[in-house]
Amino acid sequence: MKELRVLASVDHLPQVLSFIDTELEQAGTDMKTQFHIDLAVEEIFVNIANYAYLEETGDATINFEISGEPSIVQIQFKDSGKAYNPLENQDPDISLAAEDRIIGGLGVFLVKKNMDELFYQYENNQNILTIRKRL
């Protein structure tokens, strides 16, 4: 398992995406799948950077692993910010016109739609969000 630990700041998003893309490219991941994974990683990391630590800053740890046959990529995000399970949010009503929708929630909805599995747990004072995608 590969690991990257960075300050949870949007300034570090390019570093996070580079870490993920390097691993995906080494595994020979097709561009469409890589795009879906990048979209999910960006949404999750930006949410951690913007909301996990309120007024303070803290770290985010990203673990990356490919295993199994067929191959499954697993990416796990950990932060020590306030406890928050994004999977409990109600999905937005995408049948409404954009101006009629409630603000927020669309990014997590896209993550749910593009990944095969998502799991959340709060353990040892850490939010742990795991996403999985078949390659």
Q: Per-residue pLDDT tens for 74-131?
A: 999 999 999 999 878 765 445 545 555 455 555 687 889 999 999 999 999 999 999 9
What the block records as the tokens of 47 is: 């949410």
What the block records as the tokens of 102 is: 């409630």
- Single out the residue of 71, 78, 60, 72 nearest to residue 126, CA to CA: 78
Query: Beta 117-123 vs 126-134: how paired, if at all?
Result: antiparallel
Structural domain boundaries in the chain: 2-134
Q: Per-residue pLDDT tens for 14-62?
A: 999 999 999 999 999 999 999 999 999 999 999 999 999 988 889 999 9
CA distance 83 to 121: 9
Amino acid 55: pLDDT: 80
The answer to whether domain 2-134 has CATH 3.30.565.10 is: yes
